[in-house]
């Protein structure tokens, strides 16, 4: 990696634009250059621009306060002090930083960072940062997106931001930070530089896994203790209770069923009674409806009396309404007749004008007819010639397609003929092979058929024998497996029982020891308490002790020595530790006891299950052995029986497989020989016929091809003459027609003019006739309506006389009733009659239904009450007996229902108890298995966590970074040897501590904090170069920038530092240092000088 150029504008105190090209003189030839200028002039801004262009951040801003610290911007908004946009020069509308570099792949790239204000105004709001990466070799933009830029830069540059600031850019105040950091800071930095954060994550994850596994064990133990199953005695009692409850429930259910059947009969009898009562109600309702129709019956009688005179009455009313309208219409017709006679005279004049126009257009048509006829004759001849030409072309194309189809048929026929010949040859060879043994054909067919049948019988017998044998072998294997499992589980159960006894003994011993230790510690502490000393002082000679009752008080005058406070605290701590260890041992022994008990219960259940499976397997094996004997008996008729009996059990399976395969092969071979012989005989005859048909078809196709060739030649000869005739007729037709498209169009145009004139004349004539007809119509209408009016008036007079006489004969029909009845529809009488007939029929139907239902009810009771008198089956006494019977039945059912419910509840409770115990037993078995798995998982993760686990991940991180520190020390010592052979770095003082060996003072080990300024610079520079090598790996870093004040160095240390920088230059690195020390300016000729220009601005210049 190598920096080629740096460009910047409007950043901090450098308005720019500034360009530093390290590939051009004088910087290209300088291995060591200085960046000089007064304090605050902007020297470090150059290195900030370098970091901004590559990473969008700077080392100085990285340590700035976070979100809680803000600056006021020009537009009134606030930005964080750590925001890189704050480096934009105040009053500038935009700024940028740009770096050209050679990446790890040897290609040249350009990284750019830019920021601007809204509308490119100095007081605009700061916009989002823009970053881009360009491949200079291909002049191709790789990305202009910030996220993609952040991913591509470490890949192309070969360094992350942390690695870049430790390997390429040594920022101000951080030159010796790593050298004097503590272990935590040093491990964090090494982790970032080497990208080995996974060790911290592994440490945290292992701690979390161990904690999770420990909690899982505790949860599983709690679950096991929550819900324990019943013992065998309680289980047997529950099963006995279930059997008794089911018997009691069955008895109650049978009793209730008999009562339900009797209740069902009584319910059906009640339904019969209800249907009869409903029939009675229906009859009453029908009769009431009939009585309610009395008014309708009266109206029906009136309609029947009016019916003969209904037409006359309606006609009289209609004439009364019609005569006034008729008189009005006659008056209107008289007025319309006068208007029509005026319109008739106007139409007569229009007809005369239209007739003259028609005569003129007909004369023009007659004059043009000869020319039209001549043009039509020419067009007809042209059409005939064109028709002949199209027919000739169609015929030619048709003949050509037929000729192509014929060629295809000939090719297909030839291909089919070759196939038939090949099939015939193959069939002939096959048949010749079989006919070569003609004398043996009949014999071979019979033998093959016999072999086929024998092979089938043998295969059937062997298949059945094989199936029986496999079944016996499977059952034997299953029995042996179950025996082995039972023996293994029994042995493990016995072993666990012995371990349980031992664990119980250890637990009892530990509990006794813990109790004894507790009492001893309590007594010892009691002797040291202040209250005991005060009580001892109150004892008197020959007086009983109030505590122990003794008369001898040896410690009254000579009490035991009291230990010092420190010794007493140590003694108490030791006693507490002993108690804690004893309690921990007790907890472990109790856990072992519980685990052994759980495993013992599981093995006990497994042994019982294996014994049950063995007992169930024995009948199946006996049945399979009997089937095997039967299969052997069926095999005794064949020659294979002796071979079977001579074999041992292990060889029989292979023998069965071998002979079954042989039988199948013989059967298949016999089938194939018969099939091949039949196929050869069937195939040969049709092939000979097909070959003869192909030959006849080929000859016919050849003859048709010759005919088609002659037709095509004749058609080609007729084409030229017909084409010339068509062209001549087209020319003559164009001369005759002129502007018209055709003779028909010419004639159609003239005829259209005649038609238009004739239509106009006809329209005028029709209008004249229409006016004339209208006059005649109106005259006739007036005459007709006058006569009709007289007739209607006569009819009205006659009807008035007749109806007046009828009304006198029926005075009971009022005028209002008459009008209302006449307004009804003609079919009102029929509808009313139908309604009355329906009501009458409903009464009869209800009466019939009532009688039928009573007869059915009587028959129902007669079948079920044979002892009852038939005449009294439906009377009240019988019904009261049945009601009494129903009440007694209800009482018995109600009395039996609590017993049934109690029996049901008892059975359900017993069944639930058994099922709940089954569930607890299964849950206990599953819980013990889960507990074993959880303990195994806890043991595995616990051992891992003891080695590397930590909640903050520092345990494994320190282990891993100690190895990285060893690598770093090796790299730093290589560089330190090139700078000064006096010093060498080693680990010491702490797991990640650093010591300096001074080889000039008998390899004295010194703390890094005891080094002088020059020594610190040398060691820090070597450490920085080592960090660069460690961070970059195989990456060759050719550029190094040091932003470190050298003003605190004395002349000797400064000379030592300059010698170190010269050594780096000699190693092929380009080194740039920032310093305002005059002595360094004199020794470094190539300088990038930053000169203050006033108003917070600086100018950058190169000096050589």
pLDDT beyond 70 at 898: yes
CA angle, 305 then 306 then 309, to 5°: 120
Q: Which residue has tokens 């039996």?
A: 896
Task: Mark out the alpha helices in 229-309 (DSSP H runs).
Answer: 232-292, 294-306
The stretch 568-580 carries a mean pLDDT of 65
Length of the chain (residues): 1104
Instruction: Please give the pLDDT value at position 138.
Output: 92
Instruction: Please give the pLDDT value at position 1082.
Output: 82
pLDDT in tens, 73-127: 776 678 888 889 989 988 899 999 999 999 988 899 999 999 999 988 888 888 9
Instruction: Please give the pLDDT value at position 146.
Output: 92
Q: Three-state SS for 669?
A: helix
Asked if 232 contacts 604 with a C-beta cutoff of 8 angstroms, the reply is no
Cα–Cα distance for residue pair 552/556, rounded to 1 Å:
9
Cα–Cα distance for residue pair 923/918, rounded to 1 Å:
8
Cα–Cα distance for residue pair 113/88, rounded to 1 Å:
11
More confident residue, 1033 or 200: 200
Instruction: Please give the pLDDT value at position 508.
Output: 72
- CA dihedral 642→645→649→655, nearest 10 degrees, is 20
Count Cα atoms within 13 angstroms, Cβ side, for 459. 14
Written as six digits, the tokens of 421 are: 């010949």
Instruction: Please give the pLDDT value at position 976.
Output: 82
The stretch 223-228 carries a mean pLDDT of 76
Written as six digits, the tokens of 268 are: 């059906």
Q: Strand 1004-1007 relative to strand 994-998: parallel, antiparallel, unpaired? A: antiparallel
CA angle, 208 then 214 then 220, to 5°: 130
Hey, where are the domains in the chain?
1-158+1061-1104
Burial 572-594 (b: 16+ CB within 10 A, else e): eeebeeeeeebeebeeebeebbb
Residue 179 exposed, middle or buried by CB count within 10 Å (0-12, 13-18, 19+): buried
Nearest Cα residue to 341 out of 736, 715, 773: 773
Beta strands in 716-829 (DSSP E): none
Instruction: Please give the pLDDT value at position 148.
Output: 94
Which of 180-194, 200-214, 215-229, 524-538 has the highest average model confidence (pLDDT)?
A: 200-214
pLDDT in tens, 133-180: 999 999 999 999 999 999 999 899 888 888 788 778 876 556 567 777
First and final C-alpha spacing in the chain: 26
**Mean of per-residue pLDDT scores for the chain:** 77
pLDDT beyond 70 at 757: yes
Cα–Cα distance for residue pair 743/582, rounded to 1 Å:
134
Would you tell me how many other CB atoms lie within 10 Å of the CB of residue 1081?
Answer: 15
Cα–Cα distance for residue pair 733/374, rounded to 1 Å:
9
Q: Order across the sheet with 994-998: list the strands.
A: 983-987, 994-998, 1004-1007
Instruction: Please give the pLDDT value at position 4.
Output: 94
Cα separation values, 14 from 242, 395, 818, Å: 98, 96, 122
Which residues neighbour 986 within 8 Å (Cβ) at sequence distance 6 or greater? 969, 994, 995, 997, 1005
CA angle, 200 then 201 then 205, to 5°: 120
More confident residue, 1040 or 300: 1040
pLDDT beyond 50 at 637: no
Confidence class for position 441, pLDDT limits 50, 70, 90: very low
CA 939 to chain CA mean position, Å: 39
Would you tell me how many other CB atoms lie within 10 Å of the CB of residue 1022?
Answer: 26
Phi, psi of 14 (to 5 degrees): -110, 100
The stretch 552-580 carries a mean pLDDT of 60
pLDDT beyond 90 at 1054: no
According to DSSP, residue 309 is labeled G
Q: Which residue has tokens 């019904």?
A: 879
Confidence class for position 681, pLDDT limits 50, 70, 90: low
pLDDT beyond 70 at 909: yes
- H/E element, 8: strand 2-9
Instruction: Please give the pLDDT value at position 636.
Output: 47
Written as six digits, the tokens of 455 are: 């092979």
CA angle, 742 then 743 then 747, to 5°: 120
Supply the Cα-derived Rg of the chain in whole angstroms: 64
pLDDT in tens, 262-281: 777 777 777 887 888 788 88
Q: Three-state SS for 741?
A: coil
Cα separation values, 366 from 49, 358, 454, 539, Å: 107, 13, 110, 175
Cα separation values, 731 from 47, 229, 382, 720, 744, Å: 97, 120, 10, 18, 17
Instruction: Please give the pLDDT value at position 758.
Output: 80
Q: Which residue has tokens 């904090």?
A: 1009
Q: Strand 1039-1043 relative to strand 2-9: parallel, antiparallel, unpaired? A: unpaired
Q: Return the minimum-mean-pLDDT range out of 207-216, 543-552, 964-973, 1073-1082.
A: 543-552
Asked if 259 contacts 893 with a C-beta cutoff of 8 angstroms, the reply is yes
Asked if 334 contacts 341 with a C-beta cutoff of 8 angstroms, the reply is no
Asked if 928 contacts 920 with a C-beta cutoff of 8 angstroms, the reply is no
Written as six digits, the tokens of 181 are: 């950091």
The stretch 574-593 carries a mean pLDDT of 69
Cα–Cα distance for residue pair 291/1096, rounded to 1 Å:
123
pLDDT beyond 70 at 323: yes
Cα–Cα distance for residue pair 253/899, rounded to 1 Å:
10
pLDDT beyond 70 at 361: yes
Which residues neighbour 881 within 8 Å (Cβ) at sequence distance 6 or greater? none
Q: What share of the chain has pLDDT > 90, as a percent?
A: 9
Q: What is the CATH T-level fold of the domain 1-158+1061-1104, as seen in this structure?
A: Rossmann fold (3.40.50)
Q: Return the minimum-mean-pLDDT range out of 114-123, 413-422, 563-572, 914-923.
A: 563-572
Q: Is the torsion defined by CA of 282, 284, 287, 288 positive or negative? A: negative
Asked if 16 contacts 1097 with a C-beta cutoff of 8 angstroms, the reply is no
The stretch 1077-1088 carries a mean pLDDT of 84
Cα–Cα distance for residue pair 994/729, rounded to 1 Å:
120
More confident residue, 1042 or 642: 1042
Instruction: Please give the pLDDT value at position 643.
Output: 57
Cα–Cα distance for residue pair 574/660, rounded to 1 Å:
84
CA 187 to chain CA mean position, Å: 45
CA 161 to chain CA mean position, Å: 41
CA 416 to chain CA mean position, Å: 57
Instruction: Please give the pLDDT value at position 181.
Output: 78
Would you tell me how many other CB atoms lie within 10 Å of the CB of residue 705?
Answer: 15
Which residues neighbour 10 within 8 Å (Cβ) at sequence distance 6 or greater? 16, 88, 89, 92, 94, 95, 96
According to DSSP, residue 1036 is labeled P
Cα–Cα distance for residue pair 603/600, rounded to 1 Å:
5
The stretch 639-665 carries a mean pLDDT of 59
Which residues neighbour 809 within 8 Å (Cβ) at sequence distance 6 or greater? none
Instruction: Please give the pLDDT value at position 178.
Output: 74
Confidence class for position 644, pLDDT limits 50, 70, 90: low
Asked if 242 contacts 914 with a C-beta cutoff of 8 angstroms, the reply is yes
Cα–Cα distance for residue pair 605/490, rounded to 1 Å:
10
Written as six digits, the tokens of 514 are: 């813990």
CA 552 to chain CA mean position, Å: 91
More confident residue, 1064 or 20: 20
Phi, psi of 308 (to 5 degrees): -65, -30
The stretch 36-61 carries a mean pLDDT of 89
Asked if 403 contacts 708 with a C-beta cutoff of 8 angstroms, the reply is yes
Q: Return the minimum-mean-pLDDT range out of 59-68, 111-120, 281-290.
A: 59-68
- H/E element, 869: none
| Adjacent-strand bridge partners of 19 | 7
pLDDT beyond 60 at 20: yes
Cα–Cα distance for residue pair 129/117, rounded to 1 Å:
10
pLDDT in tens, 734-743: 777 777 777 7
pLDDT in tens, 958-1001: 888 888 888 888 988 987 887 778 889 998 888 888 899 988 88
pLDDT beyond 60 at 1034: no
Written as six digits, the tokens of 122 are: 């100095």
């Amino acid at each position: 990696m190598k920096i080629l150029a740096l460009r910047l504008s409007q950043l901090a105190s450098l308005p720019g634009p500034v360009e530093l090209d390290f590939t051009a003189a004088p910087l290209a030839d300088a291995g060591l250059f200085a960046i000089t200028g007064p304090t605050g002039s902007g020297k470090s801004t150059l290195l900030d621009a370098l970091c901004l262009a590559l990473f969008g951040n700077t080392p100085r801003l990285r340590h700035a306060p976070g979100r809680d610290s803000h600056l006021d911007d020009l537009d009134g908004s606030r930005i964080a002090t750590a925001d890189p946009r704050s480096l934009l020069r105040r009053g500038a509308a935009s700024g940028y930083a740009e770096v050209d570099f050679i990446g790890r792949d040897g290609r040249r790239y350009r990284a750019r960072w830019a920021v601007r204000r809204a509308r490119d105004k100095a007081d605009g709001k700061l916009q989002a940062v823009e970053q881009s990466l360009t491949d200079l070799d291909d002049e191709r933009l790789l990305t202009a997106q910030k996220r993609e830029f952040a991913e591509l830069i470490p890949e192309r540059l070969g360094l992350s931001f942390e690695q870049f600031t430790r390997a390429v850019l040594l920022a101000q105040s951080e030159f010796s930070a790593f050298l004097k950091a503590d272990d935590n800071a040093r491990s964090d930095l090494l982790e970032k530089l080497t990208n080995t954060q996974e060790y911290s994550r592994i440490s945290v994850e292992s701690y979390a896994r161990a904690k999770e596994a420990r909690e899982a064990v505790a949860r599983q133990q709690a679950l096991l203790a929550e819900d324990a199953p019943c013992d065998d005695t309680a289980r047997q009692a529950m099963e006995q209770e279930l059997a008794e409850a089911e018997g009691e429930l069955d008895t109650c259910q049978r009793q209730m069923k008999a009562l339900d059947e009797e209740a069902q009969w009584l319910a059906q009898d009640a339904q019969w009674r209800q249907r009869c009562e409903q029939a009675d109600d229906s009859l009453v309702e029908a009769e009431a409806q009939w009585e309610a129709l009395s008014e309708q019956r009266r109206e029906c009688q009136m309609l029947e009396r009016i019916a003969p005179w209904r037409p006359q009455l309606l006609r009289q009313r209609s004439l009364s309404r019609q005569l006034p309208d008729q008189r009005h219409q006659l008056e209107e017709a008289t007025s319309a007749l006068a208007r029509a006679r005026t319109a008739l005279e106007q139409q007569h004049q229009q007809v005369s004008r239209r007739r003259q126009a028609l005569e003129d257009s007909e004369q023009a048509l007659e004059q043009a007819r000869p020319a039209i006829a001549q043009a039509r004759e020419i067009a007809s001849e042209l059409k005939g010639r064109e028709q002949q030409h199209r027919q000739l072309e169609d015929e030619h194309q048709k003949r050509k397609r037929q000729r192509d189809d014929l060629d295809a048929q000939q090719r297909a026929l030839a291909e089919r003929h070759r196939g038939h010949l090949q099939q015939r040859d193959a069939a002939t060879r096959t048949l010749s092979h079989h006919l070569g043994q003609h004398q043996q054909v009949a014999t071979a067919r019979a033998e093959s058929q016999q072999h086929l049948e024998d092979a089938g019988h043998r295969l059937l017998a062997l298949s059945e024998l094989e199936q029986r044998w496999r079944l016996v072998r499977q059952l034997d294997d299953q029995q042996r497996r179950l025996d082995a499992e039972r023996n293994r589980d029994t042995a493990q159960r016995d072993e666990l029982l012995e371990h349980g006894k031992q664990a119980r003994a250890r637990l009892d011993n530990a509990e006794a020891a813990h109790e004894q230790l507790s009492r001893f510690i309590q007594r010892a502490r009691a002797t040291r308490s202040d209250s005991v000393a005060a009580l001892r002082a109150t004892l008197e000679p020959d007086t009983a002790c109030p505590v122990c009752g003794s008369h001898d008080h040896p410690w009254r005058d000579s009490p035991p020595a009291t230990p010092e406070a420190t010794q007493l605290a140590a003694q108490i701590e030791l006693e507490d530790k002993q108690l804690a260890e004893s309690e921990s041992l007790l907890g472990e022994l109790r856990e072992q006891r519980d685990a052994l008990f759980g495993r013992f219960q599981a093995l006990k259940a497994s042994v019982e299950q294996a014994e049950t499976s063995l007992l169930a397997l024995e009948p199946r094996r006996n049945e399979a052995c009997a089937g095997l004997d039967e299969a052997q008996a069926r095999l005794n008729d064949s020659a294979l029986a002796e071979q079977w009996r001579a074999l041992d059990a292990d060889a029989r399976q292979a023998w069965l497989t071998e002979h079954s395969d042989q039988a199948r092969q013989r059967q298949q071979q016999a089938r194939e020989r018969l099939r091949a012989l039949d196929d050869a005989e069937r195939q040969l005859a049709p092939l000979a016929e097909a070959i003869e048909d192909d030959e006849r078809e080929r000859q016919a196709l050849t003859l048709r091809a010759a005919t088609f060739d002659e037709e095509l030649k004749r058609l080609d000869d007729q084409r030229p003459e017909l084409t010339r005739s068509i062209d001549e007729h087209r020319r003559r037709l164009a001369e005759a027609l002129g502007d018209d498209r055709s003779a028909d169009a010419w004639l159609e145009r003239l005829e259209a003019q005649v038609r238009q004139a004739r239509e106009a004349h006809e329209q005028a004539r029709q209008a004249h006739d229409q006016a004339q007809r209208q006059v005649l119509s109106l005259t006739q209408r007036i005459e007709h309506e006058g006569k009709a009016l007289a007739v209607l008036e006569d009819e009205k007079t006659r009807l008035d006389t007749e109806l007046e006489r009828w009304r006198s004969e029926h005075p009971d029909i009022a005028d209002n009733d008459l009008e209302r009845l006449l307004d009804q529809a003609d079919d009102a009488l029929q509808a009313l009659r139908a309604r009355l007939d329906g009501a009458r029929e409903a009464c009869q139907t209800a009466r019939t239904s009532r009688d039928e239902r009573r007869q059915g009810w009587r028959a129902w009771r007669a079948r079920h009450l044979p002892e009852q008198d038939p005449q009294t089956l439906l009377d009240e006494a019988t019904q009261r007996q049945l009601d009494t019977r129903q009440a007694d039945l209800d009482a018995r059912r109600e009395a039996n229902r609590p017993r049934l419910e109690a029996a049901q509840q008892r059975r359900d409770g017993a069944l639930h108890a058994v099922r709940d115990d089954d569930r607890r037993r299964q849950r206990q078995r599953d819980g013990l298995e889960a507990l074993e798995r959880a303990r195994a998982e806890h043991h595995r993760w616990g051992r891992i966590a003891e080695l590397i686990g930590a909640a903050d991940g520092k345990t494994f991180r320190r282990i891993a970074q100690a190895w990285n520190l060893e690598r770093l020390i090796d790299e730093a010592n290589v560089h330190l040897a090139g700078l000064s052979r006096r010093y060498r770095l080693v680990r010491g003082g702490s797991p990640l501590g650093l010591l300096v060996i001074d080889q000039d003072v008998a390899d004295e080990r010194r703390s890094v904090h005891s080094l002088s300024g020059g020594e610190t610079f040398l060691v820090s520079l070597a450490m920085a170069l080592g960090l660069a090598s460690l961070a970059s790996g195989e990456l060759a870093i050719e550029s190094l920038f040091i932003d470190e004040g050298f003003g605190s160095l004395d002349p000797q240390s400064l000379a030592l530092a300059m010698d170190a920088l010269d050594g780096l230059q000699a190693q092929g690195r380009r080194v740039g240092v920032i310093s305002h020390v005059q002595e360094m300016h004199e020794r470094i000729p190539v300088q990038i000088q930053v000169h203050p220009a006033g108003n917070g601005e600086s100018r950058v210049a190169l000096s050589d």
